[in-house]
Amino acid sequence: AVVSTQSGHYAGSCVEELPRLNVSYKPQEISPKFQGTVRQMLHDKIRNAYVYPQFVTDVIKPLQIEKLYDQQVQNLSGGEIQRVAICLCLGKPADVYLIDEPSAHLDSEQRLHAAKVIKRYILHAKKTAFVVEHDFIMGTYLADRVVVFEGEPSVDTKACTPQTLLSGMNKFLESLEITFRRDPTNFRPRVNKMESLKVCWL
């Protein structure tokens, strides 16, 4: 390898050329410009994926995209656009998937479905995904490992070594002095009040 600097060149250095990766990206803000139906857009953007039986089973059906096939893209609601955008992102062949806030505009049930779809697809395809998510519950469904940052943000911060989901989330919650309990009827996490006696980590 040859490295160029202001003072000249260094030949035969140990610098390795970085591999080229195909990336599929779902942005945080989605402003659809496609003129036509959802079916037409999927046919145009991910023609091979959206008719592939495994993709239909793993992505199309759980996200209920088929119900939107004949709707105009410009007339979709925020939640419908989000589900279609997730489908489009996963339908593109890529090495890395960048998914920014997939929970936006989705209700609680749809968030869980979306989280399961993303995780199952990435695991089955043996790919890598970076998901930016501020919804705590959805984050716990998506994550395999957790890196907890400690200290004063932007001033003096350190990143802890990656931990299991359980220990990492508990460490994060403990730093915020927040505890959860499981709802006895639906088993979903509920935040305890400060100094509650019902202390239970995840």
pTM of the model: 0.77
Quote the pLDDT of residue 4: 43
Pairing of the two strands 145-146 and 23-26? unpaired
pLDDT at 122 over 90: yes
Q: What is the mean pLDDT of residues 108-134?
A: 92
Q: Which two tokens stand for residue 57?
A: 């089973």
Give the number of other Cβ atoms within 10 Å of residue 44's Cβ: 10
pLDDT single digits (tens) 3-20: 444 445 545 555 678 788
Quote the pLDDT of residue 201: 47
pLDDT single digits (tens) 140-168: 888 888 888 888 888 999 998 999 988 98
Alpha-carbon dihedral 35, 37, 39, 44, rounded to 10 degrees: -10
Asked if 71 and 41 touch (Cβ cutoff 8 Å), the reply is no
Kindly report the average pLDDT of the chain as a whole number: 86
